[in-house]
Structure 1
């Protein structure tokens, strides 16, 4: 071996040691830098013509484990998803108050029943009546407040999704640009670890927002793909994501077309903060609102049922019903049992009565009737002592002169409601919209909507990713069966993805079918029942937007709050002897009926976490309160579990990628000694060269 070869070999050793020392010093300097990945010089033997000629540094590489990296990204996505869900569910739960405190929302229902129990002991007390009505209004006001604040939470979530999508776009763009820097460094055999570390940290942040597939490129850098494999970054350009949503539909994330040519491509997002926020906006928070609306609706329904069984003293001159959303023949059709309408004087003595037998379809006096001529026959039976009118879906009874009216509900029943209750003739709690969606309609009844009017739906996967939009026209066929057939048509309706059905109380529901298990939202509804009547979505409560706003629709009848003595607390008794009052002063049986309303079994529709159940309102209040707590606890448990997995994955990744001071100091000593040895070899070669020179 020549002296020149020795010098070159030793020089390569010194250079390799110098680069390795620089790498070690960089590692030690960044021992506390978050996201820093330790690096090492890639050292290889230099061979020329089959002969060893020293050492070369082929590059500086980061010490990474792709499996651990992917495990960390997946765990981080899952942890951040449940972290945001847990956070907002805690906020939602706090809106209902502390269960052990005085302001717990569900305890207000018990306060209502307790207040009316006290009224039953002294029905003549205006103060007790006023306090009882205040308790009812407190319950309704709190329900409206909570519903409004949950709606505000939804708006906050919506804004956060948009902000996170914007941040995701920034990350994808930066990751894509760093690919070019890394590739250039790789081609030049330079150190690209700085850019790679920055890129790795950005990928880690991206995983907290949404779950992605990450793969290493042979030329350096990474490719980022969505769950289903759609390229997001790494092929020379970065995709631009958009957040697509309306108030009425579920939100989803889509890749916008390049240069505005083509259509947006929806993608799956199954993890990260964005998934958690979408779940909150489209499922969790609307579910709580729907459940709150169902609770308030059924509680109001039971209180109104008891109030409609009673009357005030003296009896009211006018009984004004609510808008049923139906025409009178359809509203009357389907009733069973008997009811009686009494005209009373100011002393409560019956002046005349009309007995209605819906089973036999007769009135006494008056004879037989049909749903079509019900109003005419009723007015004839009343004989001028009172009049009945039906305007804008509402039945109204008005007594003549100074007389008043009272109704004995008897055994009458339709859709679980007695006659006066179904029409809302003596409701304590009023609402200007449909609340329980038990229309009482049967498949043989006329649907009443204008043929040709359209309703538009969006069918989507459970995660919000759209399947298709459909427009359904009201059919020429006049019955509810015809309407259901159109809605379930496999070509022009939703029949390929689910089924619309009508239950025994006239409530319409949609159930998605496997394998898509589609959800349905209403994007536009141009239908109306009759002229200016309710639309299909309003009458049947289709779509989350319609159902989730119910809680704020209720209030105590203004006439009662203005004069609590108009509260109906007496019970009509038409079995008394002629000339005797059918309602007695001091009668508090109506108050006892209201006080016991919480113990009457009611049928609750599926809402939120609770399915369709039959139970008392008081029991439902307990179940509702418990379900919110379970949701919050469940989200917190899943968050903690996901965080444990994430922390373990991070710890294992850090054990491979992180800087260990002891190990680096050992390498430092090794490279120092190697550098010194190479330097001594150069010195020895120099000495030998000097000797040879002197000999010459």
Structure 2
């Protein structure tokens, strides 16, 4: 071996040892730096012309374990997803209050029925009437407040989605910039560990926003894809787009999160988003919060309906001069058809005696008034004739009204106790809302009683637009359906379900026996829909198709903030209907008693009566009492909040464990670094001594030549 080769070999050892010592120094100095990944200098033998010529550092790399990194990224995504769900759902739960306490809407339901129970023993007490009415109004005011707060939660989630998208775009841009820098350094044989460490930190941040898969590129840097394989970075970076909603309300149709791959097409990200903060926010905004709102809306609607059922069965003393119903959303002919049983329209004088009475009998599709046959078309004229001018019934804009001719008289609607009138499980007065205690500024009941043969009342050519979404929430398609020329509900349902011009490619609409319209997805499909546009107007009632049948989650949820106690009763509690009309009273004797509290007892018992609840949120239709529904709602909300918190805790624990394992492998071990320090110091000294020995040999040889 020549002295030059010895010198070169020793020099390579010296330089390699210096590089190793520098790497050890960097590791030791960052022993307490969070997220720091240990550097490793890969040392290899160097050969020249097939002859060993020393050693060299092939590259300096990070001690990264791709499997541990993948586990850590997945854990970070899950923690982000369930963390925001738990945080925002906890806010929803706090809005409901403690069902066992007096605060919050769930507790106030019990207080409402207790107030009417107290009133039943003190029917003539003005203060007790006022207390019951105040407690009722407080309940509906609280419902209105909660409706606004739930929308505020959705708006907060919407804002955070927008911020998350902006942050993801920034991170993807920086990650791709690091890819370029790392590739250039790799080609030039430079140290890329600094850029790789910075890039790893950016990737960690991105994994909290959305679930990702990371792979190493042959040219240096990384390639990042979504869990389903859509390219995010590595050959240029993808761009995410999201348009925030304007004024957020129950009917807001939020935009998709759009992803445009590098040199690729624009597609919905939601189908490719399995976890991360964005997924959690979308789930909370589009599923969890609306479900809570829908269930609460259904509860408040049934409370209002059962209170109205009880109030319509009674009357105030003296009886009111006029009765004005609610907008039933159909023509009178369609509304009056389908009743069974017997009801009575009575006019009473100031002392409570009946001065005029019309007995209405519905049987097998026929109807009579005091024995006189009537049809849906002439029912009102026959009824008015039988009342003999003592009162007049009219129907305008979907609303039935009665007005006593003499302002000293009153009007009472009373069902026959043995055979009460009924349609969609509501008596005559209750169906038309003639003596409702609770009013709503929009349609709230969707069991219309319409059949396939009923006229729909909409104008041909008007349109309703549906937006269909998949299980992930990603938009599938928008479909606009025109009102057909045919006038019946069968024609309307057929047009809605047309596979070419309707929604038949997604599912079918159908009327049930109560006149409710429901949507059923195609077998094996899990699509959902919302109404994003509705230009329809029912000619009789001026309500839209979506309002009449409660089409879409938004319309049903929006009922929540529309209820209130009737203003005239709030102003004059004496108008509260607490008495029952005695149909067997002798002519000229009072049929009403001011001290009669049977109506208050019925109001108090309304919470225990079995009511039919429509499907709401993820809970199907059911029949149960209001008090039981309150209990189940409280349990459901609490259980979901606890489940989300439990998932968040579990995800956080998994993330902590994954990070610890990753840190134990990638972090700095002082004992190991001290061993390396000693090893490379000795290697440095050995190389230096070889250089010194070669120098000495050179000196001897030179001396011999001289």
Common fold: TM-score over 0.5: yes
Measure how far apart 1:155 and its partner are: 0.9
The answer to whether the 8 Å contact 2:85/2:644 transfers is yes
Q: Give the CA deviation at 1:444.
A: 2.0
Instruction: Normalising by structure 2, report the TM-score.
Output: 0.96
Are positions 1:242 and 2:232 aligned together?
A: no
Distance 1:400 1:363 in 2: 23
Among candidates 432, 454, 460, match of residue 463 of structure 2: 454
Q: Deviations for 1:306-334, whole angstroms, at most 9, x for unmatched residues?
A: 00000011111100111111111111112
Match of residue 406 from structure 1: 412
CA shift for structure 1 position 100? 5.0
- Identify which of 693, 697, 702 aligns with 1:693: 702
Give the conservation status (yes or no) of the 8 Å contact 1:242–1:255: no
Q: State the alpha-carbon separation in 2 of the partners of residues 121 and 127 from structure 1.
A: 13
Match of 1:252 among 245, 250, 256: 256
2:221 maps to: 221
1:548-587 pair list within 5 angstroms: 548-587=557-596
8 Å CA contact 1:244–1:252 kept in 2: the answer is no
Counterparts of 2:386 and 2:348 in 1: how far apart (Å)?
15
What residue number does 1:150 align with?
Answer: 150
- Which of 368, 374, 381 is the aligned partner of 2:386? 381
- Give the one of 413, 416, 424 matched to 2:425: 416
How far 1:647 moved relative to its partner?
Answer: 2.1
Q: CA deviation at 1:366?
A: 5.8
How far apart are the structure 1 equivalents of 2:672 and 2:298? Answer: 64
Which ranges of 4 or more aligned residues in structure 1 deviate by more than 6 Å?
none
8 Å Cα contact 1:312/1:570 also seen in 2: yes
Distance 1:207-1:447 versus aligned 2 partners, 3 A rule: same
**1:68 Cα deviation after fit:** 1.6
- Alpha-carbon distance in 2 for matches of 1:164, 1:343: 66
In structure 2, C-alpha distance between the alignment counterparts of 1:263 and 1:492, rounded to whole Å: 26
- Report the Cα offset of residue 473 of structure 1: 0.8
User: How far apart, in 1, do the equivalents of 2:377 and 2:643 lie?
Assistant: 54
Cα distance 1:274–1:488, how it changes in 2: closer, same or farther (>3 A)? same
TM-aligned CA distance change 1:412 to 1:474, over 3 Å: same
Q: Aligned Cα RMSD in Å?
A: 1.7
Aligned equivalent of 1:477, options 486, 491, 495: 486
Give per-residue Cα distances to partners, 1:151-199, cap 9 Å, x unaligned: 1111111111101110011001111111100000110111111111111
Q: Which residue of 2 aligns with 1:345?
A: 349
- Change in Cα spacing, 1:395 to 1:99, as seen in structure 2 (3 Å) is closer
Pick aligned residue for 2:283 from 271, 274, 279: 279
Query: Which residue, out of 291, 295, 299, partners 2:299?
Result: 295
Q: Is the 8 A contact 2:394 2:400 kept in 1?
A: yes
CA distance in 1 between counterparts of 2:322 and 2:294 reads 34
The 5 Å alignment of 1:256-655 reads: 256=260, 265-267=268-270, 268-359=272-363, 361-365=366-370, 367-401=372-406, 402-410=408-416, 411-530=420-539, 533-655=542-664
Distance 1:358 1:286 in 2: 41
Q: The residue matched to 2:56 in structure 1 has which SS?
A: strand
Partner SS, residue 91 of structure 1: helix
SS class of match (2:311): helix
CA distance 1:104–1:237, shift in 2 (3 Å): closer
Find the residue that maps to 2:239 and give its secondary structure.
coil
- SS at structure 2 position matched to 1:229: coil
Cα distance between partner residues in 1 of 2:194 and 2:681: 24
Contact 1:251 1:282 in 2 (8 A): no
Distance 2:209 2:520 in 1: 31
Structure 1 residues 262 and 684: CA distance shift in structure 2, 3 A: closer
Q: How has the CA–CA distance of structure 1 residues 228 and 257 changed in structure 2, closer, same or farther, with 3 Å as cutoff?
A: closer
What's the CA shift string for 1:510-547, capped at 9, x where partnerless?
A: 23234441010111111111167111111111122212
The alpha-carbon distance between structure 1 residues 687 and 514, as it changes in their structure 2 partners (threshold 3 A), is farther
Deviation, structure 1 residue 569: 0.4
Are the counterparts in 2 of residues 113 and 595 from structure 1 also a CA contact under 8 Å? yes
**Could you tell me how far 1:659 is from its partner in structure 2?**
1.5
- Per-residue deviation, 1:31: 1.7
TM-score (norm 1): 0.97
How much does 1:611 deviate? 1.8
Q: CA deviation at 1:107?
A: 2.0
- Residue in structure 1 matched with residue 108 of structure 2 by the alignment: 108
Q: Secondary structure at the match of 2:123?
A: coil
TM-aligned CA distance change 1:198 to 1:515, over 3 Å? farther
Shift in Å, 1:338 = 1.3
1:128 alignment partner in structure 2:
128
Change (3 A) 1:198 1:257: closer
Are 1:243 and 1:254, in contact at CA under 8 Å, matched by a contact in 2?
no
SS in 1 for 2:343: strand
CA contact (8 A) 1:251 1:464 kept: no
Shift of 1:20: 0.9
Moved more, 552-561 or 655-664: 655-664
1:165 aligns with 2:165: yes
